[in-house]
Amino acid sequence: SAVISQKPSRDICQRGTSLTIQCQVDSQVTMMFWYRQQPGQSLTLIATANQGSEATYESGFVIDKFPISRPNLTFSTLTVSNMSPEDSSIYLCSVVTLGELFFGEGSRLTVL
């Protein structure tokens, strides 16, 4: 299995600001993903974080709003830019190890 640490675990943010979420994995992994889980909803894939190249975004998500970095095989960041109350959600980092998809504990953002 993989141990995934996310920071911050939760935050309250003001409208119009940006917040960067960090994801650290205890081993090198090829595939890292960022998901969003809005209140009462299931998980929606935002993007695949590619090491050394630009992230691959899913329909409905754009780089200007959710810039992602992946400088190496154990670390990634997701920034939620110019936040609005609709961005209030749990953001989850996940990795694939030995065929299984593991999740971090999530970062719960509340935008006022």
Q: Which of 107, 43, 99, 38 is nearest to 77 (CA)?
A: 107
Using CB under 8 A, list all residues that contact other proteins. Answer: 31, 33, 35, 41-45, 48, 56, 58, 92, 94, 96, 99-106
Q: Which structure tokens are listed for 89? A: 């959600």
Please state the closest distance from residue 12 (CB atom) to other proteins, in A: 16
Q: Are 64 and 81 in contact (CB under 8 A)?
A: yes
In the bound state with other proteins, the residue whose beta carbon lies nearer, of 14 and 42, is 42
Q: Are 93 and 34 in contact (CB under 8 A)?
A: yes
Nearer to other proteins, 54 or 82 (CB): 54
What is the smallest separation between the CB atom of 52 and other proteins, expressed in angstroms?
A: 14
